Amino acid sequence: MNREIQQFKAEFFKALAHPMRIRILEVLCEGDKNVNELQAILGSEGSAVSQQLAVLRSKNVVSGTKEGTSVIYSLRDPLIKDLLGVARQIFDNHLVDAISLLENIRNE
């Protein structure tokens, strides 16, 4: 069982391992969007956005619901928002450590 969980985690984090996919998730944290809305917000081609959404869908990170001729994308689990927030805190902590180190070097 432990190996299955580790495999799930590895696949999940692989799905997050692209800057555009992270940005898509950050946008979806604010609310559900269709491809055109995501494209406009991200300032990227629709094909690039669609390609990254396909990866996120295949890993069950986002879901799509057909509404008329559009597909509305949303986070499959609201905890993804928390995960991205924690990742941001970790980044901020590393940044604070780096700034502190640079200040110590400068003061020597």
pTM: 0.83
pLDDT category of residue 1 using cuts at 50, 70 and 90: low
What is the domain range of residue 31? 2-76
Backbone angles phi, psi at 64, to 5 degrees: -125, 135
Q: Is residue 39 part of a domain?
A: yes
CATH number at residue 46: 1.10.10.10
Q: Is residue 99 part of a domain?
A: no
Q: Is residue 107 part of a domain?
A: no
Cβ–Cβ under 8 Å, residues 88 and 29? no
Q: Dump pLDDT digits (tens) for 47-98.
A: 899 999 999 999 999 999 999 999 999 999 999 999 999 999 998 888 877 7
Residue carrying the six token digits 């992270």 = 22
Please state, in angstroms and rounded to a whole number, the distance separating the CA atoms of residues 61 and 59: 6
Which of 1, 15, 17, 34 is CA-nearest to residue 77? 15
